[in-house]
Structure 1
Amino acid sequence: MLAAPGGLGVGVEDVVIHDPEDPPDAHPGDLVLVIGARGRVAAGAIRAAGRSGAAAVAVKNGTAVVNVAADAGVALIEVGHEARWEQVEALARGVVDAARAGGEADSGEVLGDLFSLAQTIATLTGGLVSIEDTASRVLAYSRAGDEVDELRRLSILGREGPERYLAMLREWGVYQRLRAGEGIVRIDERPDLGIRRRIAAGIHAGSQPLGTIWVQEGAQPLTESAEVALLGASRALAPQLIRHRTLPSPELRLREDLLAGLLDGRLDAESVADDIGADPGKPAMVLAFSLPRDRAATDRQLRRAELVHLITVHTAAYRRSALVSVIGGRVYALLPDLPEHAEPRILALAKEIAGTARRHLDVRVRAALGGVVPRLSDAAASRGDADRVLAAMARGHGTADVASLADVRAEVLLSEVLAFLGEQPRIRDPRLTELIAHDAEHGGILVPAVLAYLDAFGDVRRAARELNIHPNTVRYRVRRAGEVSGIDLDDPAQRMLTQLLLRL
């Protein structure tokens, strides 16, 4: 840093490259990299950057233009003679992009990891590596020498692949093969087009494409293990690209933190209401959504991020002050300022979200409605109701994708009674303990028969159908269970206790 007329606290919004032969094209907050001009030759570019409000200018041999920068009111950074502009631009843009992605250390690590991985892949393959998203935007790349071809040079300088080259790759079927799944795609050298030999691999989360790794052959042939290394890298990069894609904006993260803080008891309702423009004294409800666990972790994480956006749009359309957040793998939505008799409308909203997720995200979502609470400070209680409903749905109670506490109240209350009994070992009938132990040693057939008989309210034929055995077999097993344990199922109290404890 040779000059900083505005101090060191000036913010940088973007990184641009300026060629002195081109017209000035800088904007307020830009860091302008002046290539092709050193020392006093760069004076014009520095003055133009100052007039545009640029944050800083980077040049080589900058000591000759310190006064020019000071007069122009723009910071001046000197770049070492040996440094390559491509490397400088990658470093600067990586820092700015990381800050823009979230402004915290964890977001910086995403892009930092990508550049570090790109360099590692380059070492293992012996080529020049670039990592792109599904829109062909360059996210990171490895260092390079003079062997960079025209496609790589234009892609990196423009931060995305040039359209005429992209059109050729599409015409050759390259992108179709990359999207099809795992595997190495080979692109032959085309000297007439300025394209050197390449290998590429798609990055996927399940069946969903996330991006592409390109490896350009340089002055030396690629290593013998280049394709194996590239395949491994394509798998290792999926989590980083998911984090890069799903990282929320600072504004969205603030709203997520507000809801998490309210539901966890870290923030008071009045503070949250003030931030979102809600009335803390009006009724509220919490919706809870869960995804099935039958998908790979990376795919589930990506689907959850898409589900958050889907829920945010739908709930904001119903209540402007709605909040959405992910807590413990579930997605929660807070609906404040509810009018009277809001449950039917919210039930329809939850069904619409679940249906849209099934159609457009290709995923089955379970949605649970918590109870309506009289004020925002009781939102945690509504969240608890929603969690209880989801737990009942996960145990197979009900076949619908959307349910309220009223729909599964009996199952929820029974599970809580059983949970209480499970925590109270003194509330046991030793006769049932003996029956369970005996059954475990003799084929485990008596307890299921007794439970089916009690669940069927003593209807032997119905219990037999449930167990797929003969009714006489049910009668024998129930009678035998009574002989082993001494329990009298004709006694209402013993019958109820038996059903509860055997369920436990």
Structure 2
Amino acid sequence: MNLRQLLLAVGEPLLNPGAGSLDVPVRGVAILDPDDELAACPDELVLVIGARGREAVRYVRVAARAGASAVAVKGKPDALRATAEDAGIALLTVRPDVRWDHLQTLVREVLDSAAVESDAEKGDLFSLAQTVAVLTGGSVSIEDAGNRVLAYSRSDDDIDELRRLSILGWEGPEQYLALLREWGVFGRLRAGEDVVLVEERPELGIRRRLAVGIRAGAQHLGAIWVQEGKQPFAGQAERALLGAARMAAVHLLRRRGSPLRSHDDLVTGLLEGKVSADLVAGQLGLDPTAPAIVLAVAPREIEHDQSEHELHRLEIGNVVSVHATSYRRGALVGTIGSRVYAVLPEVPQQQAEPALKALAEHVVEVLGRAGVRAQAGIGSPVPTLGEVVASRSEADRVLATMARTPGRDMATIADLRAEVFLGETLALLEANPDLRDPAVAVLLAHDEENGTELVPSLLAYLDALGDVRAAAAELHVHQNTLRHRIRRATAVSGLALEDPRERLACHLQLLLVCRR
């Protein structure tokens, strides 16, 4: 994990960047007390306790010499920026009222969580909280059934006293919890999946909130809270919150050592055809005989910076998971390479295309607002869970086709079936040059040697199904000019355009040549 990712997880109001690069790795956390010697701590975040402001200058240098990648201090950073930059170490500032032991515990938990997560995971509760904050437009915290704060999103300064005290103390203040119980909020959160609105109470310093219970069957596992900021909640906030609660339930069950820990392996195995649909259905509580459809989402551009690539993949995974699970409780989400797949079970065939198009468009739009350019492809519905490999293959083909067609970010296989077919046929021709007609190569050579335009003219003519008027208009030439070029092309190459098979083979080869 690098420092930027750590700050995304911990963030305000606890830590703020002061100086240096945020892309340095962080592999551990250490405490530096002025009365102690600091052992070697390569790539660790060092918390400097007992010294503030200028008093901490010496300890910033000590941490840098010990190999630390970042150092955190209390007090104003102005006096330390130059020292940190000279020493080549990142500087973070800590609020005066933050307890060092709480901060150390939090950082260690985030780092440990990142270390044990497999590549297929879509992030921990902190990244889920951050994603929900983007989708709802508010400040998010996730709590367990005992009202202890497990994770929260980064926030701006527009937070109320309840949120500030909850984050600093890692649990809701008792006086506020008592009020929420008195208002019946907790009872409603435990009763079902409905999103609960808690109105603003200015006299108590409480901003407007949305909350939803986290449930596994009849068992209450916790709750997600969203505090409204300077702007009203986003239009899809309640739906996003419902999907996030279903995702959070999986995370919390994993923490308890539930068999759901292998969830991602099961989903990717199902998508690759390596795991039985009966096994997946049995472990995840699905009907293996129900119809399903696959939605695939991928970044339009692959980042060459590995950490940026991982952050984008994480962002896509979280956004797809939240929206897919809000659309279908039994949705399965898995990551293969840079693509994120959602298997949506029990989607009625007559509703599949319009509903999934709306879902995919919203996912792409949300990711775009977060700075991630993505594209979404949708396969055909398949009769059973065991046949999702076919739907995934179609979704992959749609993504590959859209990558060659700028300006389109979402499509179904039905939208692009002809383009998919053409693309794969041309790929076959490209991979097998022995299948091509030498006559087309003769035409290409003639154009290159003589500066003529026989190839584009013949392609336009074939695209127009032999309609000289339409092809000439497309080329912006006179019809007689085009007729002359077609006669010249057949004379030079020996092509027999009156033969429909030879005409088709020629057309495909010209498309291959002009696509390069």
Identify the TM-score tier after normalising by the shorter chain.
0.5 to 0.7
Q: 2:368 aligns with which of 351, 358, 362?
A: 358
Which residues in structure 2 correspond to 1:221-370 (within 5 Å)? 227=86, 229-230=88-89, 248=123, 251=254, 254-293=262-301, 295-297=303-305, 298-343=307-352, 344-359=354-369, 361-370=370-379
8 Å CA contact 2:401–2:419 kept in 1: the answer is: yes
Mapped pair 1:408 → 2:408: no
Aligned mates of 2:329, 2:53 — CA distance in 1: 55
Aligned mates of 1:275, 1:452 — CA distance in 2: 56
Specify the SS of the correspondent of 2:372: coil
Task: State the 1:410 CA deviation.
Answer: 0.9
Q: 1:214 aligns with which of 71, 87, 90?
A: 71
Mapped pair 1:428 → 2:285: no
Task: State the 1:223 CA deviation.
Answer: 11
Q: 2:11 aligns with which of 134, 138, 152?
A: 134
Aligned mates of 1:477, 1:228 — CA distance in 2: 72
Q: Alpha-carbon deviations, 1:238-264, whole Å to 9, x = none?
A: xx9996698745748632211111112
Cα distance, 1:161–1:354 mapped onto 2, change above 3 Å: farther
Cα distance, 1:434–1:215 mapped onto 2, change above 3 Å: same
Specify the SS of the correspondent of 1:320: coil
Aligned mates of 1:267, 1:495 — CA distance in 2: 45
Task: State the 1:440 CA deviation.
Answer: 4.7
Gaps of 5+ in 1: 1-109, 115-129, 150-155, 166-188, 201-211, 232-239
Task: State the 1:278 CA deviation.
Answer: 0.7
8 Å CA contact 2:378–2:411 kept in 1: the answer is: yes
Q: Give the alignment's Cα RMSD to 1 decimal.
A: 4.5
Greater shift in the superposed pair: 268-277 or 246-255? 246-255
Task: State the 1:358 CA deviation.
Answer: 2.1
8 Å CA contact 2:122–2:318 kept in 1: the answer is: no
Letter in 1 for 2:462: L
Which residues in structure 2 correspond to 1:128-167 (within 5 Å)? 134-135=11-12, 136=14, 140-141=28-29, 144=32, 146=34
Specify the SS of the correspondent of 1:406: helix
Cα distance, 1:147–1:132 mapped onto 2, change above 3 Å: farther
Letter in 2 for 1:308: G
Task: State the 1:313 CA deviation.
Answer: 1.0
Cα distance, 1:305–1:132 mapped onto 2, change above 3 Å: closer
Alignment match, 1:500: 508
8 Å CA contact 1:278–1:337 kept in 2: the answer is: no
Cα distance, 1:377–1:440 mapped onto 2, change above 3 Å: farther
Task: State the 1:492 CA deviation.
Answer: 3.6
Aligned mates of 1:275, 1:411 — CA distance in 2: 38
Letter in 2 for 1:330: R
Cα distance, 1:475–1:160 mapped onto 2, change above 3 Å: farther
Aligned mates of 1:476, 1:213 — CA distance in 2: 73
8 Å CA contact 2:293–2:391 kept in 1: the answer is: yes
Letter in 1 for 2:332: L
Aligned mates of 1:132, 1:492 — CA distance in 2: 63
Mapped pair 1:451 → 2:459: yes
Letter in 2 for 1:407: D
Alignment match, 1:396: 405
Aligned mates of 1:275, 1:496 — CA distance in 2: 51
Q: Alpha-carbon deviations, 1:206-247, whole Å to 9, x = none?
A: xxxxxx93388xxxx99999638448xxxxxxxx99966987
Q: Alpha-carbon deviations, 1:43-72, whole Å to 9, x = none?
A: xxxxxxxxxxxxxxxxxxxxxxxxxxxxxx
Alignment match, 1:374: 383
Cα distance, 1:329–1:364 mapped onto 2, change above 3 Å: same
Specify the SS of the correspondent of 2:329: coil
Greater shift in the superposed pair: 445-454 or 410-419? 445-454
Task: State the 1:464 CA deviation.
Answer: 5.6
Query: Taking every aligned residue pair, what percent have the same amino acid on both sides?
Result: 39
Specify the SS of the correspondent of 1:342: helix
Mapped pair 1:483 → 2:491: yes
Letter in 1 for 2:441: T
Aligned mates of 2:475, 2:71 — CA distance in 1: 58
Q: Alpha-carbon deviations, 1:305-356, whole Å to 9, x = none?
A: 0121111111111221211111021111111233342312222222222222
Q: Alpha-carbon deviations, 1:85-107, whole Å to 9, x = none?
A: xxxxxxxxxxxxxxxxxxxxxxx
Alignment match, 2:162: none
8 Å CA contact 1:242–1:302 kept in 2: the answer is: no
Specify the SS of the correspondent of 1:366: strand
Given the two structures, how large is their TM-score scaled by the length of structure 1?
0.53
Specify the SS of the correspondent of 1:407: helix
8 Å CA contact 2:31–2:48 kept in 1: the answer is: no
Aligned mates of 1:131, 1:339 — CA distance in 2: 39
Greater shift in the superposed pair: 388-397 or 402-411? 388-397
8 Å CA contact 1:369–1:405 kept in 2: the answer is: yes
Letter in 2 for 1:452: A
Specify the SS of the correspondent of 1:457: coil
Specify the SS of the correspondent of 1:196: helix
Task: State the 1:494 CA deviation.
Answer: 3.1
Specify the SS of the correspondent of 2:343: strand
Cα distance, 1:279–1:486 mapped onto 2, change above 3 Å: same
Aligned mates of 2:70, 2:274 — CA distance in 1: 43
Cα distance, 1:335–1:228 mapped onto 2, change above 3 Å: same
Letter in 1 for 2:455: V
Cα distance, 1:197–1:288 mapped onto 2, change above 3 Å: same
Aligned mates of 2:472, 2:84 — CA distance in 1: 63
